[in-house]
Amino acid sequence: MAYPFYVAINLSLRGGEITNLERLNDLPLTFDNYIFVLTDPGLLDDIWRSAVYTLGVLLPAFAIGLALALLLNRKFPGRRIFRPLVLLPWAIPGVAVSAAFSWMLDASYGVINFLLRSVGLIETNIAWLADSDTAMTAVIIPTVWKYYPFFTLVLLAALQAIPGEQYEAAQMDGANSRKQFKHVTWPAVRSASALAVIITGIGIFREFDFIFPLTRGGPNEATQTLAIRIYTEAFQYFELGVAAALGVVTMVIAGTVLIAAGRSIRRESA
């Protein structure tokens, strides 16, 4: 674990043109890469887009995961068949999901435009991936589809650990379904929900597999998150030191959120 961190930090502190990693230590130590990154006005925009993308995925993915977990926790015909089907998207590689949604969101023959026209919600096709106003939504949709099964799995496990006697007691006290969820279900799954949100949120914040294949950070940087910016600096501009500095900044942001959220969970569980 330590060596990759060392390489990234060492790379971020080296000045000059980095053409040979074997001779990295011959370059001078400097904070120029961090000064460039932290004084760049575009950094706040990249952080903002990363936050929008993360929240845009987390909220609907959690809501879908919770709803499906509540459904799958009930007994109904075909539940054993339905459970693995619901969790199937989690097993599909992100690049494959992006390829499928690239076709579905196509401006000319995409099935999503066809369905929206069929129900009368739109009159003309939407260029989901080519319009700055819709590009972020277009990359959020497949990411939600990929991540909701994780919430379903975690929350379903937490739901199955709730003793049935608690629901029976709540029913005897006259609690309806809403009150049972508020006073029995949610307190039992709250800690698992918080942990799942933190783990998934950190993963989404640095997500690359969906944005780059679909939009490459465009159009007009509308979907350029920190992960895309790091790739661009490293492999398009060949500014490896700047890319490493951005990576360290991303790591610090994610680590700060993780530490703060972890303390909150520990206080709640104490």
* Domains defined for the chain, CATH in brackets: 28-90+146-269 (1.10.3720.10)
Structure-derived torsion over alpha carbons of residues 210, 215, 217, 223, reported in degrees to the nearest 10: -80
Beta-carbon contacts of residue 22 (< 8 Å; ≥ 6 apart): none
Dist. CA 158–CA 162, nearest whole Å: 7
User: One digit per residue, pLDDT tens: the chain, 270 residues?
Assistant: 888 888 889 889 988 777 777 777 778 888 999 999 999 999 999 999 999 999 999 999 999 999 999 999 888 887 788 888 888 888 888 889 999 999 999 988 899 999 999 999 888 899 999 999 999 999 999 999 999 999 999 999 999 888 888 888 888 888 888 888 888 889 889 888 988 998 899 999 989 989 999 999 999 999 999 999 999 999 898 898 999 999 999 999 988 888 887 776 666 655
Q: How many residues can be counted in the chain? A: 270
b/e map 190-228, b = 16+ CB within 10 Å: eebbbbbbbebbbebbbbebbbbbbbebbbebbbbbbbb
Tell me the whole-structure pTM to 2 decimals: 0.90
Residue 138 is which amino acid? A
Compute φ and ψ for 29, nearest 5 degrees: -80, 135
Which H/E stretch holds residue 115? helix 111-118
Predicted local confidence at residue 80, as pLDDT = 81
Residue 4 is which amino acid? P
